[in-house]
Amino acid sequence: MLLRLTYRLQFPLRAAAFILVMLCGALSNQHGAIAKDVAAAPEVGTTISVKRRLTGLHGDVKRRLRKGARVHRDEVLQTSRKGRAEFKLDDDTKLALGANAKLKLDQFVLGQT
């Protein structure tokens, strides 16, 4: 009786563990595909300093940026309510964003590169 009860408990637990592992794998593959989309966009500069919080939004992908992070064409950069950030573009242009600011690195900002 104990053996039968143990088997009945183990099978659902193993099935649940298998499903959980498969879901985690699928989610990590989806995250990897999203990260590849951001990485596929041309890099146009580097963050020099970040105070408080800075986020980058490229398509549907939102990421937190820190000092030294590369920024990409068509990425929207946004500082927090008390945040500040400085960037150096690859053409040696320097940009600074104050608190609660938003900037899209598009053709207008970057020029003909």
CA atoms within 13 Å, Cβ hemisphere of 35: 7
- Same-domain pairing of 36 and 12: yes
- Same-domain pairing of 33 and 65: no
- Same-domain pairing of 36 and 47: no
* 107: confidence class by pLDDT, cuts 50, 70, 90: confident
- Same-domain pairing of 25 and 51: no
- Same-domain pairing of 34 and 48: no
- Same-domain pairing of 74 and 93: yes
- Same-domain pairing of 22 and 69: no
Beta-sheet pairing, 43-51 with 76-79 = unpaired
> In the chain, how many domains are there?
2
Domain hosting residue 8, numbered range:
1-40
Residue 47: closest CA among 80, 14, 72: 72
- Same-domain pairing of 18 and 48: no
Q: Is the pLDDT of residue 31 over 80?
A: no
How far is Cα of residue 47 from the mean position of the Cα atoms in its chain? 15
Q: Is the pLDDT of residue 30 over 50?
A: no
* 41: confidence class by pLDDT, cuts 50, 70, 90: confident
- Same-domain pairing of 63 and 18: no
- Same-domain pairing of 67 and 34: no
CA–CA distance, 91 with 97 (Å, rounded to integer): 18
Give tens-digit pLDDT for 46-87.
999 999 999 999 989 999 999 999 999 999 999 999 999 999
What's the predicted TM-score (pTM) here? 0.63
- Same-domain pairing of 35 and 67: no
